[in-house]
Amino acid sequence: MVKLNTPNSFLCTKKNYGDFILEFEVNVDPIMNSGVQVRSESLKDYQNGRVHGYQVEIDPSERAWSAGIYDEARRGWLNNLVRNEEGRKAFKNGVWNKFRIEAIGNSIRTWLNGVPCADLIDDLTPKGFIALQVHGIGDKKEKLGKKVMWKNIRIITKNLNRHRTPNNNEVFQYNYIPNFLTEREKAEGWKLLWDGKTTNGWRGAKLDDFPEVGWEIKDGVLTVLESGGAESRHGGDIVTVDKYGDFEFMVDFKITKGANSGIKYFVDPEINKGPGSAIGCEFQILDDKVHSDAKNGIKGNRTLASLYDLIPSLDKRFNGVGSWNRARIISKNNHVEHWLNGQLTVKYERNTQMWRALVAYSKYKKWKNFGEAKSGHFLLQDHGNTVSFRSIKIKEL
């Protein structure tokens, strides 16, 4: 039962669980929010014992992310069901809802009322306690006294292969293991654009080889190093050796305070042989709170996850400076989308009258047919600030 001005509270198992299949039923007031923690921890040296770990969401709101997976007090949303419309329809208000969670190895999968919802691959926490959450509230008195109720809570920890649900790839798989492809991803055509160890597949945007300075590869992370904030003046931008047309592209990035960088696509390194960055459409990477460029441009079109200097980002969710964030770019038949941490931030159509009008009022107007190439290179920008990348992958469409 909810009490006013109280933080999140948890009823935890005494035992820790690694691999298991868990089922339970829940009935929650429609104005409430809750969840069930799995493989979770409370450690003295982590935020003074704050409960953290995987949470299977209970969300009766219009957002409808029930059975999605949230990383409580750590990375935020890992799978919010934005790519699973049937899963978002599975929760029913005012009745008992049945959840099933299969946590086996590095896989966590969920079902709600028999509908497949989340498929997560992650290895950050292999085991921990299970906990029922009562979400804290502040001054919203209409929630006072509302209830979250559970029943028929049961678990299996042995002979799991006999009881696990066959994997028929019904829902999108979210993989958070760095620089790693699952067997399913390989079968679907995904490939790593960076192997996590070498410079293979990349070169300087204005070089035949990889830059000798300005970039560092360490512990599975590719980092552009601080050099005073100048654009492409130290090691310089790097680009893929190969070109790509229609694609789905993903990369994890982490910025430092005040940092500026970008992910460019449909890049033609031959366009700009002079000073500055190579030319292409850009998914902006920026510390909006500190860097001055966030206030430049028009209506925020130079902020994080924007199409730089062309279209501002909307409804973005930033995990913060010093945390890993996931950028996703999709291009198919001239339709392009930017995503940040599971949220759509930009969508547009290339090679149209509207596109050319946007370009005509941007810094790109001097480049003939900007952004209209059928294919191009991917680029990671050296803007003189420390920014890190990992898990760079692509699926050609």
DSSP-H helix ranges across the chain: 85-88, 160-163, 183-187, 353-360
Rounded average pLDDT over 177-199: 98
pLDDT at 119: 98
Long-range contacts of 352-358 (CB under 8 A, 24+ apart): 358/310, 358/311
- Count the Cβ atoms, other than its own, within 10 Å of residue 152: 10
Q: Percent of the chain at pLDDT above 90? A: 89
Q: What pTM did the predictor assign? A: 0.93
Per-residue pLDDT of 245-268, as tens digits, reads 999 999 999 999 999 999 999 999
Does position 147 have pLDDT exceeding 80, yes or no? yes
* Beta strand pairing call for 377-380 and 238-240: antiparallel
Residues 6+ apart with CB under 8 A from 232: 205, 275, 276, 277, 278, 381, 382, 383
Q: Express each pLDDT in 148-175 by its tens digit.
A: 999 999 999 999 999 999 998 999 999 9
Calpha distance 115→110 (Å, rounded): 9
In the predicted structure, residue 345 carries a pLDDT above the cut 90 = yes
Residue 95 and residue 27 in contact, taking contact as beta carbons nearer than 8 Å: yes
Helix or strand run (H / E) with residue 82: none
**Domains of the chain: residue spans and CATH:** 9-175 (2.60.120.560), 183-396 (2.60.120.560)
pLDDT at 238 over 90: yes
Instruction: Please give, one letter per residue, the 3-state secondary structure of 245-277.
Output: CCEEEEEEEEECCCCEEEEEEEEECCCCCCCCC
H-type alpha helices, 182-232: 183-187
pLDDT in tens, 314-327: 989 999 999 999 99
Per-residue model confidence as pLDDT tens digits over 209-219: 999 999 999 99
Instruction: Label residue 9 by pLDDT band (50, 70, 90).
Output: confident
